[in-house]
Amino acid sequence: MGCRRPFQDIWQSRMNGVTFDAGGLIAIEKGRYEVAALAQSVLAHGDWIAIPALALAQVWRNGAKQVRLARFLALRGVEVVHFTDESAKRVGELCGVANVSDVVDVSVVWCARKYRHKAVVTSDPIDIARIDQTLRLIVV
C-alpha cells in the first residue's frame, strides 16, 4: 500500500512561482495542511506566490474571521496582483480567445502567464485547462 505524496513533493523544479486561484485560497482558509506545506515549500525555494485580486475578492468576506487567509496574504513572497485598465483589457481579450465568460478564471490564467508561472493551485482544473492547457495544475 503506497502513501500519498505531499503537495510539496510536486514542487520538484523551480518554476519562478505559482498562482493561486480562489480554490487554493479556500484551501488555505480551511487549514489544509498539504496546501500550506506546498506554499511553504514554494516560498522556501525563493519563489513567490501570485494571487489575482479577482480571485481574492471571490473568497474574502471578513478579515476578522479569516485569520489563516489574512496571515497567508501577509507572508513575504505572497503578492496580490492588482489589475490596471490595460491588464483588464488583456483579460477581456483572453476571454474572447478562449470563448469563456468567467473573468476570475481567466484572470488566474492571465496572471500565471504574465509572471511565467507554470503552475496554478486550483480546485477547478477543468475550467482552467479550458483556457490554457499548458499550465501545470495542482488540484486541491
131 vs 109: CA distance, rounded Å: 7
Cβ 35 vs Cβ 6: under 8 Å? no
The Cβ of residue 103 has, within 10 Å, a number of other Cβ atoms equal to: 17
CA-CA distances (angstroms) from residue 79 to 50, 69, 98? 5, 13, 26
The rounded distance, in Å, linking the Cα atoms of 123 and 105 is 11
Confidence at residue 14, expressed as pLDDT on a 0 to 100 scale: 55
CA-atom Rg of the chain in angstroms: 15
Q: Does the pLDDT at position 66 exceed 90?
A: yes
Summary mean pLDDT of the chain: 91
| 35 pLDDT above the threshold of 60 | yes
Element (H, E) at 20: strand 17-20
Q: Per-residue confidence at 119, pLDDT binned at 50, 70, 90?
A: very high
